[in-house]
Copies of this chain bind each other. A is one copy, B any other.
Amino acid sequence: MSEYTGYKGRSLEFLKTNKILIGDSVKILADIIYSGIIMPRYEHSDNKHIVLKLKNGYNIGLEISKIEKIEKNEIPKKIVEKIEKNEIPKKIVEKIEKNEKLPNILLLSTGGTIASKIDYRTGAVTPILTAEELNSSVPELAKIANIDTKALFAEYSENIMPNHWLKIAETVNEHLNSDYAGIIIAHGTDTIHYTSSYLSFSLEGFPIPIALVGSQRSSDRASSDAALNLIGAIKFLTECKTNGIYIAMHKDENDETIACHIGTRVRKNHTSKRGAFQTVGNDPAFLIVNNEIHKNMKDDFFTMNEYNPKIKINEKVALVKYYPGYDPIMLKNIINEEYKAIIFEGTGLGHIGKNMYPMVKMANEKGIFMGMTSQCIDGRVRMTVYESGRDLLNLGIIPLENMIPEIALIKAMWASGNTENREEIKEIMLKRIASEFST
């Protein structure tokens, strides 16, 4: 991102002429005098406005034709020196008094947009808010729950790896005997559904509900969904009267409904919309509509009774998405890398081309567990309808019902962490543990 990101045409010209960069603290004379920081703009913005972040946190757009004067606020030399020496103290977060009448919630933060803010110098979003800052940035939270916070890491979720999942699961497990009504995990949205499914398997039956919460727009943008997702998640955790692992996010583009999705049946289905997450093939388990909680009664999702933690993993599991032209050599390379399990993301009802058969046979002979899911994402695999499916069954591939490919991958990593025995892996894969497939 450049020093003028998003600015073009007349607005870019205006900034250049006045020698103002993004991130500069400025005073602007228009209808009144404004003071604030010049913000970057987004793609497809017009070229008539500049955007200013006011001290109260709001962003406003100012029409450049109405600006009489713009000048940089001089930063006192002492402060510049302190910035350069990295001596500026961290913002002191007010300690919020506990209210005995409110439920207690634990908030673990891992990073992501929900715990991000824009760096006004570069215009980039960086994951730097601590859980405590996150909490204090949404003052409504203190009115509905006492929130203890703990920062685990500050990672974009594409950098959350299986070892992070172990750390999250262990931290949750440490709070088994606590007085928390529920636990929130603030997480980047890119891979939040991978994390939720790992927790669903490894913490089967954890007695209190856990909601993973992300946001699609960072909390300093007007369209941010962070506050509402957090508020909805707390409402859910304190009133759902069940356990299990969920993802709580905007149901759609409106600010009216938060959807709580079963942690093993959910997918990010849009890159940028606030309502990007969807339960595959079903409605969400719970909706929070205008502060009221609604349960989806169509299915019995919650079969986890006894707490049975198994915080283990084996990363030697591959997801193989089949497509016309997929070179079987790539499957051979996976076999040679000593993988324990392969999850195929086949076509349709669960197919891969017959050119793959020799390598599948080799994998089978090497004792590798092979499971079949579908790149259709929704719907059940069924490998008995066509002769090609029957061939694959005979070659040892196990159809994995209607498990979502990504979730089947994580379950196989978890199953392979618990046992090296292929028959036992198969047994685990076909046992419904956390509503990961429907019966």
- Comparing A55-63, A234-242, A270-278, A301-309, the segment that makes contact with chain B is A270-278
Q: Which residues of B contact A324 (CB under 8 A)?
A: 160-162, 165, 191, 194-195
Chain B CB within 8 A of A325 CB: yes
- For the complex, give the distance between the alpha carbons of A378 and B122 in Å: 28
Please, which residues of chain B bring their CB within 8 A of the CB of A161?
Answer: 324-325, 353, 355
Chain A residues 303 to 352 lying within 8 A of chain B, measured CB to CB, are: 315, 317-319, 321-325, 327, 329-330, 333-334, 337, 345-352
Asked if A379 lies at the interface with its beta carbon under 8 angstroms from chain B, I say yes
| Cβ < 8 Å to B, chain A residues 349-382 | 349-355, 374-382
A377 to chain B, nearest CB (A): 6
Does A268 have its Cβ within 8 Å of any Cβ on chain B? yes
Query: Within the assembled complex, what's the spacing in Å between the Cα atoms of A254 and B19?
Result: 63
Q: How far is the CA of A177 from the CA of B161 in the complex (A)?
A: 57
> Within 8 Å of chain B (Cβ to Cβ): is A156?
yes
Contact of B323 with A271 in the complex, beta carbons under 8 Å: no
Asked if A158 contacts B353 (CB within 8 A), the reply is yes
Q: Answer yes or no: A190 CB below 8 A from chain B CBs.
A: yes
Q: Which residue of B lies closest to A42 (CB)?
A: B385
Cβ contact within 8 Å between A382 and B333: no
A395 to B: closest C-beta gap in Å: 14
In the complex, chain A residues 157-192 whose Cβ is within 8 Å of any chain B Cβ? 157-162, 165, 188-191
Contact between B379 and A271 (Cβ–Cβ < 8 Å)? yes
Which of A160, A161, A272, A406 gathers the greatest number of chain B CB atoms within 10 Å?
Answer: A272
- Residues of chain B lying within 8 A (CB to CB) of residue A381: 271
Is A380 in contact with B330, judged by CB distance below 8 angstroms?
no
Contact A349:B272 (CB < 8 A) given known A324-B191, A337-B329: yes
Contact of A190 among B43, B271, B347, B409 (CB under 8 A): B347
Known contacts A158-B351, A318-B330, A337-B330, A323 near B124 by CB under 8 Å: no
Cβ contacts A177-219/B at 8 Å (1 or 0 each): 0000000000011110011000000000000000000000000
One of A64-72, A287-295, A386-394 at the interface:
A386-394
Query: For the complex, is A21 an interface residue (Cβ under 8 Å from B)?
Result: no
Number of copies: 2
**Contact partner of A353 among B159, B349, B385, B402, CB < 8 A?**
B159
B386–A351 contact, CB under 8 A? no
Q: Is the CB of B325 within 8 A of A382?
A: no
> Chain B residue with minimal CB distance to A156?
B388
Q: Does A384 contact B (CB under 8 A)?
A: yes
Residues of B within 8 A of A333 (CB): 330, 333
Q: Chain B nearest CB: distance from A275 CB in Å?
A: 11
Q: Are B330 and A379 in contact (CB under 8 A)?
A: no
Decide if A296 is an interface residue (CB 8 Å cutoff). no
Name A384's contact: one of B1, B325, B347, B348 (CB within 8 Å).
B1
| Beta-carbon contact of A272 and B379 below 8 Å | yes
Asked whether A125 lies within 8 Å of B351 as measured between CB atoms, the reply is: no
Q: Contact between B379 and A276 (Cβ–Cβ < 8 Å)? A: yes
Name the residue on B nearest A354 (C-beta): B159
What residue in chain B is nearest A194 (Cβ atoms)? B324
- Bound-state Cα–Cα, A194 to B326, Å: 12
Least CB separation from A277: chain B residue: B376
A-B contacts, 26 of them at CB < 8 A, read A124-B385, A124-B386, A125-B387, A157-B348, A159-B355, A161-B353, A161-B355, A188-B348, A189-B348, A190-B351, A191-B324, A194-B324, A268-B347, A268-B348, A268-B375, A271-B348, A271-B380, A271-B382, A272-B379, A272-B380, A276-B376, A276-B379, A315-B325, A321-B321, A323-B406, A329-B337
Q: Given A43-B384, A156-B351, 13 other A-B contacts at CB below 8 A?
A: A157-B348, A159-B355, A191-B347, A195-B324, A269-B377, A270-B379, A271-B380, A272-B382, A317-B325, A318-B330, A319-B321, A325-B413, A330-B337
Which A residues contact B (CB, under 8 angstroms)?
1, 5, 43, 122, 124-126, 156-162, 165, 188-191, 194-195, 268-273, 276, 315, 317-319, 321-325, 327, 329-330, 333-334, 337, 345-355, 374-382, 384-388, 390, 402, 406, 409, 413
